[in-house]
Structure 1
Amino acid sequence: MTSHKHFNDLYAFLQIAKLGSFTQAAAILNVQPSALSHRINELERRLKIKLLNRTTRAVSTTEAGQQLLERVMPMFTCIQQELCALSDYTHNMSGKIRINCPERPAFELIYPKIHHFLAQNPGVEIEIFINNNYCDIVAERFDFGVRSGKDLAQDMTAVPISAENTMALIASPYYLSQYGEPKQLQEITNHRCIVIALNPEFRVSEWEFIEQKQLHKIRVPENLVFNSQYLIKQAAIDGLGITWLPRTSVQADIQAGRLIELLNKTAITYPPMYLYYPPNKHKTTAMTAFIELLRWQKNE
């Protein structure tokens, strides 16, 4: 017995055996008693055994029917419990959320918001995997990914989680006192430069600027390479070279005098960061709340 119809007939049998009445069972199952009787007859014919004793006054199980009832009822009860558990997973604030995210948005955009969220929703688990490289979130079973708007695949649903992203060319006062300050874009190549590596093969050593409304790409020397933006910033603060980072990441250091922004009139602005996921992604209540938690508001 493998078809859905057979399982439906078994469920009908369980209702009749439990209630001792075709009429009551038919009302629960929303069918006519005569149709229910026909289904049980067909079930008994397929099994080649009588399951129910029927009189005009009562319905009772045969010995075989009682055995089937005792063995199958717990199975259907377990199935119903599992379905209820799935319903809880969908409608309650619970379950695991897995995010693939570059280092900066993980630290600056996600981590500051999850403390209160987890405190309010203790049934939610969050996994954040730092990955500066590109990732197929579907193949690697992530619920969400985070990328700049310029790097998003068009077939993804994307939710902005930041304002536009302006870059800053920066160095420490100590470095500038030793090596001088570049006055023009091309002079950057004469300096020690600290660059980020997205993976062992690819380094972001082509820095972009806007001058006189034209895009300029400057290929800089790779004097010091890290795959961590925060090590890059610390190296710049320690006077090891010039680097190029999002202004939001270094604004506090600029204001405190630990870093100086250079050629700021040539700073380029990129699209916002986005939380993205496949358009057909099934979202639990917790996932929907997480999206709204991160969604960028203009007044932020």
Structure 2
Amino acid sequence: MLKKNMTGLVAFATVAKAGTFTKAAAQLGVSQSALSHTVKDLEERLGVKVLARTTRQVAPTPEGQRLLDRIGPMLEEIEHELWSMVDTQSNPTGDFRITAADHSAESLLWPKLRPMLKQYPNIRVEIHTDYQLIDIVKSQFDAGVRLGEQVSEGMIAVKIGPDFSMRAVASPAYLSRKGCPETPQELTRHDCINLRFPTHGGLYAWEFEKDGREIKVKVSGQLTFNSINPIIQAAIDGHGIGYVPEDTVTKAIANGELVSILEEWSPPFPGYYLYYPHRRLSSPAFSILVNALSIE
């Protein structure tokens, strides 16, 4: 049973992860038609459909998803063990998917990965940017990057960036027109630029702290974005107050486009961590990736 189905299981898992037969065929180095026949043969032997096909993409059926949840980690373990047997010193190889918010991807991941990728051309990395706190195992990511307080339990966490502060900022024109808030509570009377998280569709409640006192403020205004850069530009254009990581507005503050406010309410906090399941360390290439990102 296993000997007949092993090729089909690998084909099925690759297609399910890639989302299309075209991408999966390219990854496996076979033709699309051959790959489709392999999966069909598996379905015929099992007597159940494991993939739902449309004109644009494929996705696991409920039965297929249950199968993928069971065999996916096992196939990855086998692949990682095979990697460990090759000459990892001269030719480390691996494909890795990382989920991260845009700020950490732009400020940490890419600057650190760029020299590593040049040194190790057979290591390939896909960076998926969003703010969702997803289950990286279920969503088939190799690792995630989040603030330390957001890392799931049971994961290995490696610090990859320094502590940093958030900053409330506004243009000089806006502050001249609306006045400058002296406390976080006064923000409720101002035009603020919101950040919406994809998870549950919630708006980010601005977090402040002073002398051990923590305050969360739900702000409102004309504009809401789901990423940081548009918030910064809207603040520069005078549409209201934004609340963003300090390093993203250092230049705009220095050249006078923005003014930092409520600084005494924004102390530094632990920065970003790379987190991943324990089994990932069985891949030598992944260890190289972790070492490239780590600051410890």
TM class by smaller structure: 0.5 to 0.7
2:175 is aligned to 176
CA distance in 2, matches of 1:148, 1:89: 35
CA contact (8 A) 2:131 2:199 kept: no
Q: CA deviation at 1:185?
A: 2.2
Say what the alpha-carbon RMSD is for the aligned residues. 2.4
1:88 is aligned to 86
TM-score (norm 1): 0.67
Q: Report the count of equivalent residues.
A: 218
CA distance in 2, matches of 1:224, 1:200: 19
Matched position secondary structure for 2:193: strand
CA distance in 1, matches of 2:2, 2:238: 72
Q: Deviations over 1:89-140 (max 9, x none)?
A: 8663222111011111001101112222221111111100112111111112
**CA shift in 2, pair 1:289/1:132, >3 Å:** same
Q: Which runs of 5+ in 1 are unaligned?
A: 4-82
CA contact (8 A) 1:195 1:203 kept: no
**CA shift in 2, pair 1:90/1:238, >3 Å:** same
Q: Which runs of 5+ in 2 are unaligned?
A: 4-80
Q: CA deviation at 1:180?
A: 1.6
Given residue 244 of structure 1, which amino acid in structure 2 is its aligned partner? Y
**CA shift in 2, pair 1:94/1:2, >3 Å:** closer
**CA shift in 2, pair 1:84/1:228, >3 Å:** closer
Matched position secondary structure for 2:235: helix
Given residue 131 of structure 1, which amino acid in structure 2 is its aligned partner? D
CA contact (8 A) 1:194 1:225 kept: yes
CA contact (8 A) 1:208 1:268 kept: no
Q: CA deviation at 1:147?
A: 0.7
CA distance in 1, matches of 2:221, 2:133: 22
CA contact (8 A) 2:83 2:283 kept: no
CA contact (8 A) 1:205 1:221 kept: no
Q: Deviations over 1:253-288 (max 9, x none)?
A: 212222111011111433221000012334422211
**CA shift in 2, pair 1:265/1:2, >3 Å:** closer
Q: Deviations over 1:175-225 (max 9, x none)?
A: 212222112222111111111111174333421111332111222114311
1:279 is aligned to 278
**CA shift in 2, pair 1:87/1:213, >3 Å:** same
1:267 is aligned to 266
TM-score (norm 2): 0.68
Q: CA deviation at 1:84?
A: 7.4
CA contact (8 A) 2:169 2:242 kept: yes
CA contact (8 A) 1:145 1:276 kept: yes
CA distance in 1, matches of 2:148, 2:211: 24
Q: Deviations over 1:150-171 (max 9, x none)?
A: 1112211000011123111111
CA contact (8 A) 2:102 2:227 kept: yes
Q: Which runs of 4+ in 1 moved over 4 A?
A: 83-86
CA distance in 2, matches of 1:219, 1:277: 32
1:223 is aligned to 222
The higher radius of gyration belongs to 1
User: Does 2:221 match 1:210?
Assistant: no
Given residue 230 of structure 2, which amino acid in structure 1 is its aligned partner? L
1:197 is aligned to 196
Matched position secondary structure for 2:249: helix
How high is the sequence identity, in percent, across the aligned residues? Answer: 34
CA distance in 2, matches of 1:166, 1:84: 43
